[in-house]
Amino acid sequence: MTFKEFGLDEGLLEGIEASGYETATPVQEQVIPLILAGKDIIASAQTGTGKTAAFLLPIINKLLASRIDDQVNALVIVPTRELAIQIAQNLEGLSYFTPISSIAVYGGGDGSNFTNEKQALSTGADIVICTPGRMIAHLNMGYVKLKGLQYLVLDEADRMLDMGFIDDIMKIISFLPPKRQNLLFSATMPPKIRELAKKILHEPSEVNISISKPPAKIVQQAFIIYETQKIPLVKWLLKSLNFKSILIFCSKKHNVKQLTMELKRARFNVKEIHSDLEQAAREEVLLEFRSRRLQILVATDILSRGIDIDSIDLVINYDVPNDGEDYVHRIGRTARAETDGMAYTFVSEKEQNKFNSIEQLIGTTVPKAQVPEQFGPTPEYAPRSKRSGGGGKRKGNGRRFHTGGHRPPARPKH
């Protein structure tokens, strides 16, 4: 389905074409007509399905006919600064040939950022993308013009609830006019999301696009190892494989810092990104990584959603993610823009049950790669069973990784 078939404004269609969009994704085909018809929406869709454009396009189109000057017309609430920036960038491209104004409102910047945000919120902006805490800071000062608000979007709603933002969200909603169109997007639909939907949505239409399934183009493999073998195996992989852009996820900031330090000592081109970094430093690291001046980026789950880079060749899960949805979002950073990609996951003894749950969620058994003999004995993969200490050498089951002077595993063709 082409975007012209939605009956969108000509200026908006120019922005769509300039942004490189050609045909609508399944979530866009289902969601855009419903939003244009004025329906409240509750939608589940995994990363990379095009859901950002699915709500931005119809909102921009409707505002072109109904925008109110000197007011905030649409509010998009997101869990992280990175996602706010990404959506704002997408919005800027899509609305370039229209008079729609927008601003991203998030913490972590300097005083000038806050001043610019205050100016926009007090004089009016068509679309505001915000993180909860920063928006509340502005709301508490009494100058945010929300009386004319027409559209409320909650994006990554499950993540916002997991991060403890439910009270902040409800406080923001208390400032909004009762008559508005509400759009809720979430990767998962647990009971707490249903409860939130009942509180803020009015007779919503529900859209479900296949979630919890990694793209078929991603080659997945898991290494069953001891925790102490993780850093040596990362170094071996990075030396053996000729990937130009590598993203490594750790579940804890401590692991990010430790791994980055070890890789720097080994003279790899690597930097780290996590919540301890100032916003300017994060943006600089992302710019280096996006432009391929930086080969390896080690990150926490702050980047599992919201990073918009199409050329990542390899994702390594240094730690097993906390849940299946995080796994899908992490490895979904590769194999974007019609390219192939690879994803390796390191599974220690304590993480085996967690990884087994992920395999059940995504409905497939991830092949277990053979660990090179030089790393010594490795544990058996025996989730949900009692294992005695010490393990013993794991039998080879799955694709073999060669050692010494032999060839490393073949990488996918691009």
- Average per-residue pLDDT in the chain? 86
**CATH number for 170:** 3.40.50.300
Which residues, at least 6 apart from 76, have a Cβ–Cβ distance to it below 8 Å? 55, 87, 127, 128, 129, 130, 153, 155
- Per-residue pLDDT reduced to its tens digit, 348-375: 999 999 899 888 878 889 999 999 999 9
pLDDT of residue 396: 37
**Assigned domain for 146 exists:** yes
pLDDT of residue 112: 82
Residues 281 and 169 in one domain: no
* pLDDT value at 311 more than 80: no
Strands 296-299 and 246-249: parallel
Give the total number of structural domains in the chain.
Answer: 2
∠ CA 234-236-240, rounded to 5°: 120
Phi, psi (degrees; rounded to nearest 5) at 142: 85, 10
- Per-residue pLDDT reduced to its tens digit, 1-19: 889 999 999 999 999 988 8
Confidence of residue 210 (pLDDT cuts 50, 70, 90): low
* pLDDT value at 408 more than 50: no
* pLDDT value at 243 more than 60: yes
* pLDDT value at 340 more than 80: no
Residues 157 and 306 in one domain: no
* pLDDT value at 398 more than 80: no
What is the mean pLDDT of the segment spanning 382-403?
42
Residues 268 and 315 in one domain: yes
Confidence of residue 208 (pLDDT cuts 50, 70, 90): confident
Residues 224 and 202 in one domain: no
pLDDT of residue 189: 83
Q: Which long-range contacts (CB under 8 A, 24 or more apart) does 120-124 make?
A: 121/72, 121/145, 123/70, 124/68, 124/69, 124/70, 124/71, 124/72
Phi, psi (degrees; rounded to nearest 5) at 337: 55, 45
pLDDT of residue 24: 84
Residues 125 and 166 in one domain: yes
* pLDDT value at 27 more than 60: yes
Rounded Cα gap, residues 67 and 95, in angstroms: 14
Of 181, 208, 235, the last residue of a domain is: 208
Residues 196 and 244 in one domain: no
* pLDDT value at 390 more than 50: no
Closest CA to 301 of 336, 334, 284, 325: 325
User: How distant, in Å, are the alpha carbons of 250, 313, 349, 381 from that of 352?
Assistant: 16, 26, 6, 7
Confidence of residue 331 (pLDDT cuts 50, 70, 90): confident
pLDDT of residue 360: 81
40 compared with 412, residue with greater pLDDT: 40
* pLDDT value at 46 more than 80: no
- Per-residue pLDDT reduced to its tens digit, 71-128: 999 999 999 998 999 899 999 999 999 999 999 999 877 778 899 999 999 999 999 9
**Assigned domain for 356 exists:** yes
Domain containing 156: what range?
3-208
Range with the lowest mean pLDDT among 141-155, 310-324, 349-363, 390-404? 390-404
Confidence of residue 339 (pLDDT cuts 50, 70, 90): low
Phi, psi (degrees; rounded to nearest 5) at 363: 75, 25
pLDDT of residue 403: 29
**Assigned domain for 268 exists:** yes
pLDDT of residue 7: 95
Cβ proximity of 367 and 409 under 8 Å: no
pLDDT of residue 335: 61
Residues 24 and 153 in one domain: yes
What is the mean pLDDT of the segment spanning 136-146?
95
